Amino acid sequence: MPTLLFKSTFDDPKAWLERLREFVPDLELRVWPDIGNVEEIDYALAWKPEPGDLARYPNLKVILSLAAGVDHIFADPDLPDVPVCRIVDRDLIAQLSEYILYFTLRYHRKMPLYEATAREHRWAKHGRCEAALRTVGVLGIGEIGGDAAAKIAALGFPVLGWSRSPKSIPGVESLCAEDGLRRIVAESAILVCALPLTPQTENFFDAKILADMAEGSYLINVGRGRQVVDADLIAALDSGHIAGAALDVFHDEPLPAGHPYWAHPKVEVTPHIAGDPNPRTAAAQVAENIIRARDGRDLLNIVDPETGY
C-alpha cells in the first residue's frame, strides 16, 4: 500500500485524500504529526516542511511540492536525495493570472485613486491612458507568467516578457539576459514578478533595480517575498518613484502585524492567495506521480535542482 505523508499546516488533508483516492484507491495518508512508523512513508506531499523533517523517512522515494514553487523544499540543507516534483496545474495558473490581471487593470484604470476620491465624496476624473500606450512587463514567463502575459496582451497592452531562454507567446515580446532585463525594467509601466526564488533572484528588487524602473511605475509580486528588499521598496514608494505595489508574498508569512507594508498607503497586501493549490484539479498529477514512482516510470514536473524550477 503506497503511503503518503501530508506535511502542511495550510492545506486541507481531507480534501486531498478524497481526491487522491479516486486515482490511487489503496493510498494511505499520514497527516503530520500523526505519521506512524517513519519507515512506511514512501512519498511526501509538502508545503514548507521544517528543515531536517524530510530526512526522517528512510524509504522516501519522491517529494511532491504542494505548490508551483519549490524553494520551500530546497531551503532544507538536509534534503534527502530523491526527486522533487512541483504542481503545474491549469487552475493554479488561472488563479495567478486572475490576480495579475486584476492588479494590472486596477493600476491601469487608477482604481486606488478613484477609491480615495470616492471616500472624500469627490466627483473627480483623473484622466486615462490607452492600454496600447502602457507597457506591461512580466519577469518569468514560464507556465504562470506566460499565461498572464498572453492574457494581458489580449487586452491590448504591449507586453514584454523576460526569461532565461526565449519564449514564443502570442502578443508577448520575449527578452532574455542583462540587456533584456534593462529594457523590461526601464520600459514597463506595470512590472509583474512571477520569478521562482533561486540564489539569482533573491533580493532581485533592490535599490538599483527599483531606481531603474520607470518613474511612476507599479510592481506586482506573486513570486516570493525574499525577491524584494523591503526597505528599498518602501524608500522607492515614499519617494514617489514607484507609484504602488501589490504584494502577495513576504519574507515572513504571515506578514507580522507590525510590518510597515500593512499601513503603507501605496502597498496592497494580500495573504499569499494569488494561487492556492486546488485538490480538485491538481490531485490527478500528484496521484499520477505516485503511480509512476511505484512503477519506476519517469515523473511529471520534476524539478532540476540546479535551476530550482
Which positions are annotated as active-site residues? 224, 272
Nearest residue (beta carbon) to ligand OXD: 69
67 interacts with ligand OXD by CB under 6 A: yes
- Cβ closer to ligand OXD: 135 or 227? 227
Write the interaction track for ligand OXD spanning residues 197-226; mark x where CB under 6 A is met and - where it is not.
------------------------------
Between CA 297 and CA 300, with CA 23 as vertex, the angle to 5 degrees is 35
Between CA 41 and CA 48, with CA 42 as vertex, the angle to 5 degrees is 75
49 interacts with ligand OXD by CB under 6 A: no
Copy the grid coordinates of residue 125: 476624473
- Cβ closer to ligand OXD: 66 or 210? 66
Write the interaction track for ligand OXD spanning residues 8-47; mark x where CB under 6 A is met and - where it is not.
----------------------------------------
DSSP state of 54: G
68 interacts with ligand OXD by CB under 6 A: yes
Least separation in angstroms between CB 138 and ligand OXD: 16
DSSP H or E segment with residue 284: helix 279-295
Contacts with ligand OXD in 256-295 (CB under 6 A)?
275
Burial (CB < 10 A; 0-12, 13-18, 19+), residue 283, is buried
Question: Looking at 64-72, 135-143, 199-207, 289-297, which segment touches ligand OXD (CB under 6 A)?
Answer: 64-72
Question: What is the rounded distance in angstroms from the CA atom of residue 252 to the CA atom of residue 254?
Answer: 6
Copy the grid coordinates of residue 265: 498607503
Question: What is the rounded distance in angstroms from the CA atom of residue 110 to the CA atom of residue 128?
Answer: 8
Interface with ligand OXD (CB under 6 A): 67-69, 275
